[in-house]
Chain A
Amino acid sequence: GAGVSQTPSNKVTEKGKYVELRCDPISGHTALYWYRQSLGQGPEFLIYFQGTGAADDSGLPNDRFFAVRPEGSVSTLKIQRTERGDSAVYLCASSLTSRIEAFFGQGTRLTVV
């Protein structure tokens, strides 16, 4: 597609539930990033994929968070046993392998109640 697409745009879930957030990167972009943004803050790095593999997952806050990109295109961020503190906007971005400039989707607003 023309830009990075994220679904759903909004997700409300109950504490303790499992959620999946999806990201469709720009066609041809091999690098894909997940960030998390809380109100009044800048984006916080979670994980970076180069192709199918996670090149850097140092930003994942704990083992409840997991992300996959099985075919090197679409990525899914998975959160188990959600907590209220997980509420935030989850941003996905993609870039060409050789470039640091990342292009962002509109984000998924996750609310854990």
Chain B
Amino acid sequence: GQQLNQSPQSMFIQEGEDVSMNCTSSSIFNTWLWYKQDPGEGPVLLIALYKAGELTSNGRLTAQFGITRKDSFLNISASIPSDVGIYFCAGDLNAGNNRKLIWGLGTSLAVNP
């Protein structure tokens, strides 16, 4: 099925470093969502973006909805060990009643203390 292109696939960083990951698509999205998933758990919503150009922060996390509506990035500042996990972007193609999210393959983040 249709998927978002998410990069990088994996990252291994030192504690305290900043992290950046992004998602791109050939399609225009109405909404971008960023989730984090820990092993054995369901995804947890981090940030939701609703308008092109929107920049939103949640603590050390910052995400932006690209101007073209075809991309989004997530930054994590001053990483800590509990940031370890898989980060997914997800997008909503259609407005209205269609609530089907399209997902990236995830970025696996490892943090070396």
Instruction: Say if A and B assemble together.
Output: yes
Q: Are B1 and A48 in contact (CB under 8 A)?
A: no
Q: How large is the interface on A (under 10, 10 to 19, 20 to 34, 35 or more residues)?
A: 20 to 34
The reply to whether the CB of A13 lies closer than 8 angstroms to some CB of chain B is no
**Nearest-neighbor residue (CB-CB) of A41 within chain B:** B105
Complex CA distance for A67 and B66, rounded to whole angstroms: 36
- A sample of 17 more A-B contacts (CB under 8 A), given A44-B103, A56-B99, is A33-B99, A40-B106, A41-B106, A42-B104, A42-B105, A45-B100, A45-B101, A48-B100, A50-B97, A56-B97, A91-B43, A100-B92, A102-B99, A103-B45, A104-B42, A104-B43, A107-B42
Complex CA distance for A43 and B33, rounded to whole angstroms: 13
Known contacts being A43-B43, A45-B100, is A100 close to B1, with CB within 8 Å? no
Q: Chain A interface (Cβ within 8 Å of chain B)?
A: 4, 31, 33, 40-45, 48, 50, 55-56, 58-59, 91, 93, 95, 100-107
**Nearest-neighbor residue (CB-CB) of A48 within chain B:** B99
Can you offer 30 A-B residue contacts whose CB atoms are under 8 A? Answer: A31-B99, A33-B99, A40-B106, A41-B105, A42-B88, A42-B104, A42-B105, A42-B106, A43-B43, A43-B88, A43-B103, A44-B1, A45-B1, A48-B99, A55-B99, A56-B97, A56-B99, A58-B100, A59-B1, A59-B100, A91-B43, A100-B31, A100-B33, A100-B48, A100-B92, A100-B101, A101-B33, A104-B42, A104-B44, A107-B40
**Residues 29-62 of chain B: 1 if any A CB is under 8 Å from the residue's CB, otherwise 0?**
0010101000011111100100000000000000
**For residue B48, which residues in chain A have a CB less than 8 angstroms away from its CB?**
100-101
Q: Which of B1-50 contact A (CB under 8 A)?
A: 1, 3, 31, 33, 35, 40-45, 48
Q: Are B103 and A106 in contact (CB under 8 A)?
A: no
Complex CA distance for A33 and B42, rounded to whole angstroms: 13
